[in-house]
A and B are shown apart, each in its own frame.
Chain A
Amino acid sequence: MTDTTPHEPDHVYDVVVIGAGIVGSAIARDLSGHQLSVALVEARDDVGDGTSKANTAILHTGFDAKPGTLESRLVKRGYHLLSEYARSTGIPVEQTGAILVAWNAEELAALPGLKEKAEQNGYDRCRIVGADEVYELIPSLGEGALGGLTVPDESIICTWTTNLALATDARQRGAEVLLNHAVTAVSVNTRSTTLTTTGGSVQARWVVNAAGLGADRIDRLFGHERFTVTPRRGELFVFDKLARPLVDKIVLPVPTSRGKGVLISPTIYGNVMLGPTSEDLTDRTATGTSEDGFAFLLDKGERLMPRLLAEEVTASYAGLRAAINHGDYLIEPTPSQRYLLVGGIRSTGLTSGMAIAEHVHEVLEKAGLALTARTDLPGPPQMANIGEATVRPYQDADRIAADPEYGKVVCFCERVTAGEIRDAFQSPLPARNLEGLRRRTRAMNGRCQGFFCGAAVNRLLNENGCGGTAAAPARPEVNS
């Protein structure tokens, strides 16, 4: 298991990256492509278990970023890097295109400005369309759309596989992945820095803080007072796959003074998503959904696409974005501490992660870290396909003939086979619990939520030493 990977207590890594979300994993992957010893330190028991697991999973062109910002540049670059990386690793992507729909005069009037902004960001494929064309593109849209702006290159992507691919790649390149290592104290010495963690102390020459929701706390442990992360909760509904014919494009709201609003998007797994809400909280663990959030989404959905609401809800989620009081990404080195902050990476981080990594290594090099590219890199990892757009194992006659485990469907709704579940336990970063298994295979994510397969999936978890139902209390004595 990767969290028990023995590392000498007095071993000093060249770089330790804190946070194994998309951004931290991308940075660790990039750095371990150089002649460096790298560790990826994660507070939780799996990679990608924080903000990176619960977002809208859109691969952005960056058309609507604020021109001239670091974010704008890195999102644009990241779109190309991640698209290319997805092709070489098998991360599921579908280029669905998006359309921003204007529902009132103010929004309609905002469209030309948005098109212009896209062009300033180097994206010139947006087109303003009339109401007729909006309804041609999305026939099931609710009444009252006045016009729209098309963004043909916006895509949907699997955020789980992206995170897992980057972390797996980092590991295959030699980075240590230290799970269950929450950083609780930092001591900067002349030659190295000691991180005290819940999994033991870890020493590094350089430290990169990519801790997402916890980035401000880590920053304070280094003695800075730069920013405060506000957990911004976004709740969303995932509708049944039978709703997928209703919408094959991302339907975006026109951003106005009142914020970004609610979108409808197909998901890479063949569902339809409605959300997110946007609510600033103080509790960084408040990932529960709320009555108000549901009511808000249903009200929005009723206007955006009433037919969608007649479909069954398969799942509802809440994710926390790491919002900060700063208009751009906050990537700032402190060379005297051999420390780099990578903070304020909001929802665009999925798209920009690999570009952030590229930028980070330039910043580190300038700050004094010697970087020599390796010539002996292993190839990129080949990820299991959990997307619907290309062949899944259950559809692959050759694969089943070679290994009948791919012919045994365990999770009927999501059509996850015994072979895929086995693979998820045997991969370089294996599933360690039900949530990890869900993100690697989709098992139990479907419409029945375990009515049929829940018990079988739990048995497989137990057989693989994952404990099954977490923290189930002991069976009490039965009194007759």
Chain B
Amino acid sequence: MTTTTLTPDVLIIGGGPAGLTAAAALAPRIRGEVLVLDREKDAGGIPRHSDHTGYGLRDLRRVMTGPKYARHLVEQATSAGATIRTETMVTHWAGDRAVEVTGPQGRLRVEAKAVVLATGARERPRAARRIPGDRPQGVYTTGQLQNAVHLHHSEVGSRAVIVGGELVSWSAAVTLREAGCATELMVSQYPRTESYAAFNIAGRALLRVPVANRSRVTRIIGKGRVEAVEIENLDTRARRTVACDTVVFTGDWIPDHELVRSGGLDLDPGTLGPLTDTALRTSRPGVFAAGNLLHPVDTADVAALDGLHVADQVEAWLTGAGEPAPGLRILAEAPLRWVAPGLLRPGDPAPPRGRLLLWTDRSIRFPHVIVRQNGRVLSERTLPWPAAPGRVFRVPWSVMKGLSAQGGPVTIGLR
């Protein structure tokens, strides 16, 4: 049995906002085929099952629901001339820019001139958070919950505990409410719930969700179906059980980096995504990355704008751009957990949207950003927006002005 080989100019792995936007931008501009592979039944990525509004703000300059946004991106890529194959999963690398693929059409081999990895991120489930106890039914991640409720119209329980207090945690609360399930409690390790203030206030008012801050879940209880969770106050160490039949683990993102790691591409130890420069090149020539694979996790529109940014870089590679100059590492200092992109090369463009994306473990109302090279302060700036855990902290690229390409690594910290 021979395996069919496809030879598009550009292979985009992942048909979410980043991949589809890159496809839509590239297809009209290059001679060969732009092929998007998506393993889901329908392309569109996470927004497909995020059935609430707020999508498209930064990339499309209008606002729509997740499913509508997903359909719009698919339509945009298709009408631009890109090919989208769904239910088609990349399973292995078969060369520097070649992969093996499984789909109902059979086993395929795809050899491309350029590859864009846009595989996104997922939430760490209970096991990865190492939470002991029984193993009953009724434990979800937000992704699974929204998939079940919005795409499969399944029933969930009647009383839920939400673990995490990120933006997505409120999204989980909205989904639970739609499914007729009350949120008994939201459990967050941080002193304040870390999502957007506006949503937070609205969330508290509309959803009436009680929040246990500075708390963690220490055990899941229940035979067959969840009966309760045990939670601990991180300051007093006091423990109590909260009765519930549903637990949703939200946030705590990890990139879907399987192809990155199995291909031996350089990994950013902070984000756990591929290490890229501001042109979104990975360590393998001709292989690029975009979206929440790089910054787990930012909003869909920011991922989409990565796709727009990477399209220019892919086009430049196809038209024979030379070897990039050696790069400098950009490193995050505590309380910052990661920074993306993590590499800076002289002559490269500014990162997408002219911003560095960072993740903070501590909430700072008026963050003072300090950039150092070789221990010397390069620039500092107080930003008018807060740095808060559970959402991306954005820093204008201009803070990097004046650094020396010959100098050592650059660190970015907060005070």
Contact = CB atoms under 8 A, between A and B. Distances in A.
A476 B158 contact: yes
A143 B275 CA distance: 30
A454 B147 contact: yes
A122 interface: no
A363 B275 CA distance: 65
Contact of A294 (B102, B104, B132, B245): B132
Interface in B32-91: 39-40, 87, 89, 91
Contacts of A451: 122-123, 125, 141, 143-144
Contact of B180 (A312, A470, A475): A475
A400 B141 contact: no
B262 A450 contact: no
B113 interface: no
A477 B181 CA distance: 10
A276 B34 CA distance: 49
Interface in A437-480: 447-452, 454-456, 458-459, 462, 468-478
Contacts of A290: 132-133
Nearest to A471: B225
A478 to B, nearest CB: 5
A458 B245 contact: no
A415 B258 contact: no
Interface string B135-162: 1011011011001100110111110000
Point out which of A415, A473, A476 has the most chain B C-beta atoms below 10 A from its C-beta: A473
A449 B39 CA distance: 17
B128 interface: yes
A397 interface: yes
A405 B224 CA distance: 31
Contact of B91 (A285, A395, A462, A473): A395
B130 interface: yes
A354 B140 CA distance: 39
A106 interface: no
A70 interface: no
B348 interface: no
A300 B413 CA distance: 35
A113 B139 CA distance: 48
Contacts of B104: 400, 404-405, 407-408
Interface stretch (A84-92, A253-261, A313-321, A374-382): A313-321
Report the interface size class on chain B.
35 or more
A242 B258 contact: yes
Nearest to A291: B132
A454 B144 contact: yes
Contacts of A469: 137-138, 154-156
A434 interface: yes
Contact of B105 (A288, A396, A404, A472): A404
Point out which of A237, A405, A449, A452 has the most chain B C-beta atoms below 10 A from its C-beta: A449
B1 A455 contact: no
A456 B105 CA distance: 21
B103 interface: yes
A415 B91 contact: yes
B140 A450 contact: yes
B321 interface: no
Given A401-B1, A455-B144, A455-B152, A470 B137 contact: yes
A450 B125 contact: yes
B132 A312 contact: no
A50 interface: no
B3 interface: yes
Contact of B127 (A316, A398, A405): A316
Nearest to A241: B258
A448 B219 contact: no
B31 interface: no
Contacts of A474: 155
A383 interface: no
B174 to A, nearest CB: 14
A448 B122 contact: yes
Nearest to B149: A455
A398 B1 contact: yes
Point out which of B147, B151, B218 has the most chain A C-beta atoms below 10 A from its C-beta: B147
Interface string B159-177: 0000000000000000000
B1 A458 contact: no
B89 A409 contact: yes
A293 B133 CA distance: 10
Contact of B132 (A285, A289, A396, A475): A289
B107 A400 contact: yes
Point out which of B1, B125, B152 has the most chain A C-beta atoms below 10 A from its C-beta: B125
Contact of A455 (B138, B147, B225): B147
Contacts of A472: 137-138, 155-157, 225
Given A401-B1, A454-B140, A476-B158, A449 B179 contact: no
A409 B137 contact: no
B355 interface: no
Contact of A289 (B91, B133, B224): B133
A238 B127 CA distance: 9
A451 B135 CA distance: 16
Nearest to B122: A451
A412 interface: yes
Interface in B372-396: none
B254 interface: yes
A316 B130 contact: yes
A79 interface: no
A394 interface: yes
Contact of A409 (B87, B180, B223): B87
A449 B127 contact: yes
Interface string B281-297: 00000000000000000
Contacts of A470: 137, 224-225
A83 B218 CA distance: 42
A312 to B, nearest CB: 5
Contact of A407 (B103, B141, B144, B254): B103
B298 to A, nearest CB: 18
B261 interface: yes
Interface string A359-400: 000000000000000000000000000000000001111101
Contact of A395 (B107, B158, B225): B107
A285 B135 CA distance: 12
B106 A407 contact: yes
Given A449-B125, A471-B137, A476-B180, A288 B132 contact: yes
Contacts of B130: 237, 294, 313, 316
A310 B132 CA distance: 19
Contacts of A291: 132, 218-219
A288 to B, nearest CB: 4
Point out which of B103, B127, B157 has the most chain A C-beta atoms below 10 A from its C-beta: B127
Interface string B89-126: 10100000000001111110000000000000011111
21 contacts: A290-B133, A312-B124, A312-B254, A315-B127, A394-B91, A400-B107, A401-B106, A405-B104, A408-B104, A415-B91, A450-B141, A451-B123, A452-B144, A454-B148, A455-B148, A458-B152, A459-B154, A469-B154, A470-B225, A472-B157, A476-B180
The 9 A-B pairs with the shortest beta carbon distances in the complex, nearest first, are A449-B125, A455-B147, A397-B107, A454-B144, A455-B148, A451-B143, A289-B132, A404-B104, A288-B134
Interface of B: 1-3, 39-40, 87, 89, 91, 102-107, 122-128, 130, 132-135, 137-138, 140-141, 143-144, 147-148, 151-152, 154-158, 179-181, 218-219, 223-225, 245, 254, 258, 261-262
Given A451-B123, A476-B158, 14 more contacts: A285-B223, A289-B135, A291-B218, A395-B91, A408-B103, A447-B128, A450-B140, A450-B141, A450-B144, A451-B141, A455-B148, A455-B152, A470-B224, A475-B181
